[in-house]
A and B are shown apart, each in its own frame.
Chain A
């Protein structure tokens, strides 16, 4: 399918989300759309998929203008979409999820399980996407769930164009490599792909053509051979340095000592299993690992939200057993939660209130149980200036801020009070390039003042950029502590339970020997 967009524009009131977008996707082409959060990528895709109607401009498929009044029209025209947040019914089987909305029946409303299974197997076979049609979706790993979404999108009547919206955001490095391979196979089979991302390495690795969008406008059409900094500059609109300048660490006394920490989940699973970890003052220890290997529980145990079943945690030389989160925070524990919207901010609260969320009872923000609104506001004005938080006013509600600015609110909150040790979990998740760069440099500056930092990140790039030492977590244990100049392959093997110097780890798929190479996401 050849897709062409001519002057596509979408306005919401006075706000122009997409402005005069021109774009051509040739048959069998992988066309990447790069842009920061809020650049207008999602609006564009929603117009293509019939969820939104363009204000002006037209969409042409194989030269014919089309108009979609809903996703049903788009599907009928051969467009399939994989959303960033999966739309699967958890307790349903793979086959049932794939046939959702267009069920195979034997007439008279009786479902045909056999036809549904066969349909999944056919699509799996055709594109080389291995799937068990009888598996229950919620039991599957995220990468496989995504494969279900792709099969679902490809199962449309004549799907010839696939839209992938930030498909790698939730995947492990190995799953990313596999997805990129799947995309190549699909393109070879003649399917056109629109690939939305802000991860430059993946775009370089897979795209045939790159369109960069900024503030709703196409600002550049690039070849995938363009350098990372070229793409990043086009995205942000100014020159960006992707490197973080830092001097060698000067580690001092231990600020975090975790000994033999074991946490058993409600389901009876050992999510942390005798974990040992030390972080010293003036160093950043990067905790690398595939998500779901105990990082979340470790962070929550350090803060005191999860009670250890055995083992000990000492922060700044003091055993924190029996001290609640409020006391640990008062003792100088900083905490940047991995899920900003859930744990980091009260989105209905104002920016000012969020900036004192964990200090609202302390002087000078409160006296005798009464909040001093003036002091809260003064702090907000200072923080907004110091951390360059883009907000209309301190009274604006946090939900109105972009992801990057919300994260800056959290960073400002943690960095504006005395701290000895900081847990930074996924500090730049969903944050655009400009804000990431700012957050990274603040973390390094924080290290240089002598704070010990535990950086938990699922992005190896981030770990490499910041960490002075890398600990790899797997199944609730630290399976290796390595220097930051250790090659990616080695860390990748450790992350899936292999050893640092042996061959491929047990979880590496022998069918895809090329995985490790793709996991690097290009040359570094």
Chain B
């Protein structure tokens, strides 16, 4: 995290103790202990997760009618309230875990020989499936963030990417080795074109990218509604608002369906990991990344050094849009290859903002937080209706709230201030 978009750098290693010589020699355990009690960015992230799950537990208890009723006679029989709360929280979080990572019932039947190994992988496959678009939209927001831009437009860019991939996907009839890459590229291009618009507007007129990209989200979403109704896109077999399906040759191959047909995770996940690695390389090794970071940190110094600020904004936003567009292609050619609807995009673009924030605009962090959010999503969907599906959104929101306010985490847990101060993400211009 040494080069994250942050006001202060987090210490990469545990800091040396303040005094030397007089005191006992610093050993690993002492240093580790200091690290744990310090409000550095790694520990703030971990504590934010813990606190979010604690708050989620309280809300689960409050929102459950039976458990709430046990509190009405709390002073008469406190153990009722305690056991009810404990069981509720344990069951809910277990259900989330089973939906996202490993189902214990399936495990038992697998051990008894009643289920295949593939069944065991189903929760993981769902988690990865939901995480895939989030990796792309997280990168779309995170990359722009590094140039000092707040790309709220990932949702619209993703929708455009979906449409671009879809059109190439059903109009052309080519062998898969050519058709699939073309459809994916079309998705990236469509997203990139839409992403470039706020960049051009900012460079040419100074229009704030947040405002223009929010508006473009609406434009893109409504454009999709209109486009799905046109004869060009509309399904020939269904009457509701669904697009034509893409050709077989443009469908992203699934990775694990040979084990079990219900395992949906597909090649887009691998492309997402590759995109994250590419973004890391771009930011830390390329001259373009050098320029993005310089402009993001201090556009005045960058301009004085001869960098062109306007074109940096435009190209960065186009690249960011292309990432979101690839996420759209992953949907249109993947889970929604039978035809996209107005619902296919869900809120992947908006969640990309929180993914990027949680990942502190670092490619590795973005992948990790996309996986976490994918797990929450998969877990909540599989655990409903026993667990309210909103718990996933609530946990996401609470995590981000704590990440964005490290001083709050520090105050709640009485952590020490790390050398160099607290790390707070800052979007410029707000």
* A interface with B by C-beta (< 8 Å): 13-14, 303, 305, 324-330, 335, 337, 339, 342-349, 353, 357-358, 360-361, 366, 369-371, 373, 397
Question: Would A346 and B303 count as touching, CB distance under 8 A?
Answer: no
Q: Which residue of B lies closest to A299 (CB)?
A: B304
A361: chain B residues at CB < 8 Å are 287
Asked if B293 is at the interface of the complex by the 8 Å CB criterion, the answer is: yes
Question: Would A357 and B287 count as touching, CB distance under 8 A?
Answer: no
B9: chain A residues at CB < 8 Å are 348, 397
List the 6 shortest-distance A-B pairs measured between CB atoms, nearest first.
A326-B306, A358-B305, A325-B306, A357-B305, A343-B304, A348-B297
List 23 A–B pairs whose Cβ atoms lie within 8 Å, in order of A's numbering.
A303-B304, A305-B304, A324-B308, A325-B303, A325-B305, A326-B307, A328-B306, A329-B305, A335-B304, A343-B301, A344-B301, A346-B297, A348-B9, A349-B297, A353-B294, A357-B305, A358-B304, A358-B305, A366-B287, A370-B285, A371-B287, A371-B290, A397-B9
The complex places the Cα of A326 from the Cα of B287 at a distance, in Å, of 14
The complex places the Cα of A342 from the Cα of B236 at a distance, in Å, of 60
The complex places the Cα of A370 from the Cα of B283 at a distance, in Å, of 10
Interface string of B329-352 (1 = CB under 8 A from A): 000000000000000000000000
* B interface with A by C-beta (< 8 Å): 9, 18-20, 285-291, 293-294, 297-298, 300-308
Other A-B pairs beyond A324-B306, A339-B300, A373-B285, 10, CB < 8 Å: A324-B308, A326-B306, A326-B308, A329-B305, A343-B301, A346-B302, A357-B294, A358-B306, A369-B287, A371-B287
The complex places the Cα of A99 from the Cα of B201 at a distance, in Å, of 44
Nearest chain A CB to B306's CB is how many angstroms away?
3
Question: Would B305 and A342 count as touching, CB distance under 8 A?
Answer: no
Q: Which residue of B lies closest to A376 (CB)?
A: B290
Nearest chain B CB to A52's CB is how many angstroms away?
16
B298: chain A residues at CB < 8 Å are 342, 345-348
Question: Would B301 and A342 count as touching, CB distance under 8 A?
Answer: yes
Question: Would A342 and B300 count as touching, CB distance under 8 A?
Answer: yes
Question: Would B287 and A360 count as touching, CB distance under 8 A?
Answer: yes
Q: Which residue of B lies closest to A11 (CB)?
A: B18
The complex places the Cα of A399 from the Cα of B187 at a distance, in Å, of 41
A329: chain B residues at CB < 8 Å are 305-306
Q: A346 touches which one: B18, B19, B301, B308 (CB < 8 A)?
A: B301
Nearest chain B CB to A419's CB is how many angstroms away?
14
Question: Would A360 and B290 count as touching, CB distance under 8 A?
Answer: yes
Q: Which residue of A lies closest to B295 (CB)?
A: A346
B300: chain A residues at CB < 8 Å are 339, 342-343
The complex places the Cα of A327 from the Cα of B306 at a distance, in Å, of 8
B307: chain A residues at CB < 8 Å are 326
B297: chain A residues at CB < 8 Å are 346-349
Question: Would B303 and A349 count as touching, CB distance under 8 A?
Answer: no
Nearest chain A CB to B2's CB is how many angstroms away?
9
Question: Would A345 and B306 count as touching, CB distance under 8 A?
Answer: no
Q: Which residue of B lies closest to A397 (CB)?
A: B9
The complex places the Cα of A361 from the Cα of B289 at a distance, in Å, of 11
Nearest chain A CB to B282's CB is how many angstroms away?
10
B288: chain A residues at CB < 8 Å are 369
Nearest chain B CB to A383's CB is how many angstroms away?
16
The complex places the Cα of A339 from the Cα of B288 at a distance, in Å, of 26
Q: Which residue of A lies closest to B4 (CB)?
A: A348
Nearest chain A CB to B72's CB is how many angstroms away?
46
A325: chain B residues at CB < 8 Å are 303-306
